[in-house]
Structure 1
Amino acid sequence: MIIGSLRRSVVATAALALTGLLALSACGDDGGDTGGTKAAGGYKPVKAGKLTVCTNLPYPPFQFDQGGKTVGFDVDMIDLAAKKLGLTQEITSLDFNLIKSGAALNSRKCDVAAAGMTITDERKQVLNFSRPYFPEYLALLVKKGSGLKTLDDVKAKNLKLGVQADTTSLDMAKEKGFTPKEFKDSGKQLLALQSGQVDAVLQDLPVVNDWMKKGDISGKFEVAGEIPTGKQYGFAARKTGSEDLIKAINEAVTESIKNGTWAATYKKWIGSEPKSMPAES
């Protein structure tokens, strides 16, 4: 019985010690940050030496896989900010709702969201946005010869509309009175159109233009209309404690616009001259 008591005492002591170590560890890492390591400009990234970026793949031409590497317009823009901070960009793909809701950023799963994300008042409540970096245009993609020209045409014929979940395309579709079919990413949305699950899709124009570069898409489908929304894309960071990061991103975007890098990057990934420039703020 004495031996049993001693064993229980040793186990209890060890458990308490382990609990204490875990508590100290939790206090020290502040939800996954780098324990005091700061980048240039004073920002403390989630991982030492890395600028961890959340996105929702695939989303060409902003972020997509090319030869086993994630590339695109957003990737090039964030690289400019990462260099200012002396960091290397590291990209992770998440459900878009985790990004736009602020859950991924505010829990420090990543430093910044670069996901072709539209700046909205609702999203500003939970995220700290950069200055605008890309003007938003939507596009309606339909089957060739369908006779469809507008969203009103799709609705009048009681046809099925497909949108990407949690996006401004979904918001616009609902405003027009649709109950659209939602897809987790743009790739699934396109497959649904190809397989006949939906009759038309509403998606960001650059994404649709990228689809149309493929012969099997452009041979069967056409852009019925381009819709300027008057809104802008922004990069986003956690609501508080990200001021130094947003400052670096703003400086990088502004410099790229002034020195011509932004326009060259647009032409590289979008394949045309810019329709318009990003708003100042």
Structure 2
Amino acid sequence: MRHPLPVSALAAVALLALTACSSGNDTAGDDGELALVNDGTLTVCTNPPFEPFEYEEDGEIVGLDMAITGEIAADLGVELRPLNTGFDAIESGAALNARQCDIAASALTINEAREKNVDFTDAYFDADQGVLVASGSTVTDEAGLEGAKIGVQQATTGATWVDEQGLEGVQFEDLGLQIQSLRNGQVDVVMNDVTVLEAYAGDGLEIAFVVPTGEQYGLAVRTGNTALLDAANATLERITQDGTYDELVAEYFGTGEPTAEPTD
């Protein structure tokens, strides 16, 4: 069931767009006026590979997160510039605080710990954790994880869940390295967001089971950057109401219809 995003004043987008084009030093943006790290450009920190949210294609970073932030950039009247950034620097807020980028878009789960370091937009995607195994694996449920080496992506929900359960986690910097470690037999299973693991099911790998976590993704901005936060939320509302969000999800998930829904 779709939950519409909270109502924002869409007229604010036009005003913010004018401000974005006329200002842009790396110290402003926390006083109600929108200023970008680079004039005329919305710089987005992201961490591919994490298909279909962010991944490289023909030398460019594309995906659902880039399409959504592209809509924000268009509403502001500026260009979009994705910046490949380590996930730990994204989720900790370090990249935003260092003014490396204006906004972070990397299938970033909203949680209390991260909210101490960044400001999140309204949620735009629901997710759960999945467990990927080699075909024929005896791991079929949570009980099967006992004693297994579990490949996790550092600083993610999956890594936290494995630690909280007292299980053996092997940390990797990104999803690509996780998958490689599973294929090489370095780990027994891989845990990450089930939405992205589904892309690897087949060719000797399969989803063993799903761990419901009730996660929600949000975009992140530097704490106190209310101007950009308001602009991003206004765009999220617009694309939800005019059908753009549905079209983008269908495009990047290749399903013809959304597999998940934005939430408030």
Q: Show the counterpart of 1:198.
A: 187
Which of 57, 61, 64 is 1:73 aligned to? 64
Q: Does 1:278 align with 2:262?
A: yes
Counterpart-to-counterpart distance in 1, 2:100 and 2:110: 21
- Is the CA contact 1:206–1:270 (under 8 Å) kept in the aligned structure 2? no
Greater C-alpha Rg? 1
> What TM-score results when the alignment is normalised by the length of structure 2?
0.85
Q: Aligned residues, how many?
A: 238
Name the structure where helix makes up a greater proportion of residues.
1
Counterpart-to-counterpart distance in 1, 2:142 and 2:92: 27
- Is the CA contact 2:26–2:37 (under 8 Å) kept in the aligned structure 1? no
Q: Does 1:227 align with 2:211?
A: yes
Listed one character per residue, the Cα deviations across residues 160-212 of structure 1 (whole Å, up to 9, x for unaligned) are: 11000000011111122113000000000100000000010001122112223
> What TM-score results when the alignment is normalised by the length of structure 1?
0.80
Counterpart-to-counterpart distance in 1, 2:43 and 2:166: 38
- Is the CA contact 1:119–1:233 (under 8 Å) kept in the aligned structure 2? yes
Counterpart-to-counterpart distance in 1, 2:212 and 2:236: 22
Q: Which amino acid aligns with 2:160?
A: D
Q: Does 1:189 align with 2:178?
A: yes
Listed one character per residue, the Cα deviations across residues 232-268 of structure 1 (whole Å, up to 9, x for unaligned) are: 000001012x111111111111111122211221121
Q: Show the counterpart of 1:169.
A: 158
- Aligned-pair Cα RMSD in Å: 1.8
Q: Equivalences for 1:127-166 in 2 at 5 Å?
A: 127-155=118-146, 158-166=147-155
Counterpart-to-counterpart distance in 2, 1:271 and 1:150: 28
Work out the percentage of aligned pairs sharing the same amino acid. 34
Counterpart-to-counterpart distance in 1, 2:211 and 2:62: 26
Q: Equivalences for 1:1-281 in 2 at 5 Å?
A: 33-34=24-25, 42-155=33-146, 158-212=147-201, 218-240=202-224, 242-272=225-255, 273-280=257-264
Counterpart-to-counterpart distance in 2, 1:35 and 1:101: 19
- Is the CA contact 2:134–2:183 (under 8 Å) kept in the aligned structure 1? no
Larger relative contact order, structure 1 or 2 (CA cutoff 8 Å, min sep 6): 2
The secondary structure found in structure 2 opposite 1:161 is strand
Deviation, 1:271, is 2.7
Counterpart-to-counterpart distance in 1, 2:139 and 2:258: 26
Q: Which amino acid aligns with 1:48?
A: D
Consecutive unaligned residues in structure 2, runs of 5 or more: 1-23
Counterpart-to-counterpart distance in 1, 2:254 and 2:131: 19
The secondary structure found in structure 2 opposite 1:90 is strand
Counterpart-to-counterpart distance in 1, 2:79 and 2:35: 13
- Is the CA contact 1:37–1:48 (under 8 Å) kept in the aligned structure 2? no
Deviation, 1:72, is 0.2
Q: Which amino acid aligns with 1:102?
A: G
Counterpart-to-counterpart distance in 1, 2:221 and 2:191: 27
Q: Show the counterpart of 1:26.
A: none
